[in-house]
Chains A and B, each alone.
Chain A
């Protein structure tokens, strides 16, 4: 071909050699390999866990079918079930949805949209972040002090009841709801707020019509994580008196049951595993499987909802 020649130099050859660059980027490849390894390790742990509890729990679920889900606690392995745990956990999540979500989202809207940026709001923000990092067992202590031992409140909660559990878990997840909602609100471009104010909207109209709808998918994602957390917490519940072992609610009505003894799904998982392992080991794994299935369902529902709302017009 007609390679350009400048002063006898083959330009194409020079360019070719420079363009080829470092064909052996050893460091980069090694790093890529390490990152892949990290991913594989994380996945492997998850797979091993799933395989293990499925191997242990599936036979029991297959053998007893829905009977395991609808049976109450019992000292007889062949009769013990998780109906009360499911009921308790669902009640606790209902409390979280009714109490922690409105308060948490409301607080986030105030912090992000109304509060001026002062040292005081910064202190509050930092503290909410700290609260979210507090171990859940500490919230168990708070639950005891506030809802079990503090007489005026305990008269309403009934002491070591599912109401106490619902309120305690609501307090536990409240900072998480505030933080995730505030982050979703912060992600709303300020140009949208300006556009709203520009046509003479009040702050509330701007929030209701533009900021909140825009932030809703993000807030929803945060609340789903919160529900998962509420379902999975066991430590504070054991502390504030979820029943371990046999539990009978007798013929108590709905309200009495709310204020009476209860248990929750993760507590039952823990409970089965500390009882006679040979007799109840399978029960623990089977209850874990049910717990995982419920979480999967909740997450799936939320992803579905989020995708519907996220229709970015």
Chain B
């Protein structure tokens, strides 16, 4: 399949994709997630096969690829969200600061307190803005000044100025972009180590998308971010490293996601080493 693609696709100029130039990616940053030959199954169906990659501290790692390539499944392994699906199971290992996340002694609730998540569709609780942010810290036993924490979290999520006068109003009454920033504030409030984002802008308009992207660049100085996105330009704009996934279709029709290439974003978009990556980022495929 690989050879087929590289034969049919002419070398193309990729200069039309704007790649953000962040500070040069230092390879010396500590590894947060060390994913080793991870496969995810739903019953007997193998959704993702043999993924090996490393997520580094204070970087944005983007997972891109066509629909059904398993990038969301992959993301949901990082905070054991797949545990909520009865039939899901994993093989291989994800080391988080060197600790196997799927060790039977690891409590997924504790994992999720350290590894927060922002979902594809904004999903504020049907409660007040204040309660949305304070819920996480409250159940985690936060003893400090809750008002201050709520304000700080909303400020970090660039939402404070818009909502400071209506904290008691429903989070559901905000616009889509504001709701998503509220969800980011909610994730930040528990002081996580990592924030996972599952296509956080897919239901937002371009202006709201831009705000979230700027926000991600601000947040990455404090947190480690892993983002799934459909949008290659978004990956190019915000991320430091990019993992490109694709779908392998077996002869019997079973579709399995595989990691094609994982590298610094700039390299992935200007000089990828795999023909399939080049075909995808130049819009020839997917």
Determine how close the nearest CB of chain B comes to the CB of A282; give it in whole angstroms.
52
Chain A CB count within 10 A is highest, among B128, B135, B170, for: B135
CB distance from A189 to the nearest CB of B (A): 8
**Chain A residues within an 8 Å CB radius of B12:** none
B residues bordering A, Cβ < 8 Å?
A: 79, 81, 84, 86, 109-110, 112-114, 116-119, 121, 123-128, 135-136, 139-140, 170-172, 183, 186-187, 189-190
Beta-carbon contacts of A105-117 to B below 8 Å, as 1s and 0s? 0000000000011
Could you tell me the distance in whole angstroms from the C-beta of A285 to the nearest C-beta in chain B? 47
A9 vs B75: C-alpha distance when bound (angstroms) = 62
Alpha-carbon gap, A199 to B123, bound state (A): 12
Chain B residues with Cβ below 8 Å from A199 are: 112-113, 116, 135-136, 139, 186-187, 189-190
Q: Is the CB of B109 within 8 A of A201?
A: yes
- 10 A-B pairs (CB sep. < 8 Å): A198-B187, A199-B135, A199-B190, A200-B112, A201-B109, A201-B139, A202-B109, A210-B125, A312-B126, A313-B128
12 extra A-B contacts, CB within 8 A, seeds A209-B139, A312-B126: A189-B123, A191-B119, A194-B117, A195-B186, A197-B84, A198-B79, A199-B113, A199-B139, A200-B114, A312-B170, A313-B126, A313-B127
Q: Is A262 an interface residue (CB 8 A)?
A: no
CB distance from B94 to the nearest CB of A (A): 17
In the complex, A194→B196 CA distance in Å?
A: 13
Whether A198 and B140, one on each chain, are in contact in the complex, defined by CB atoms closer than 8 angstroms, is no
A-B contact count (CB 8 A): 73
* Residue A275 at the chain B interface, CB threshold 8 Å: no
Please, which residues of chain A bring their CB within 8 A of the CB of B114?
200
Q: A192-B126, A312-B126 are in contact. Are A198 and B119 (CB under 8 A)?
A: yes
Q: How far is the CB of B207 from chain A (nearest CB, A)?
A: 24
With an 8 Å Cβ cutoff, the count of chain A residues facing the other chain is 21
A205 lies within 8 A of chain B by Cβ: yes
Question: B125–A200 contact, CB under 8 A?
Answer: no
The answer to whether A195 touches B119 (Cβ under 8 A) is: yes
| CB-contacts of A186-222 with B (<8 A) | 189, 191-202, 205, 209-210, 214
Contact (Cβ within 8 A) B81 A200: no
In the bound complex, residues from chain B placing their C-beta under 8 Å from that of A192 are 123, 125-126
Residue of B nearest to A208 (CB): B139
Q: How far is the CB of A312 from chain B (nearest CB, A)?
A: 6
In the complex, the 7 A-B pairs of residues with the closest C-beta atoms, listed nearest first: A200-B113, A199-B136, A191-B123, A313-B170, A198-B117, A200-B112, A195-B123
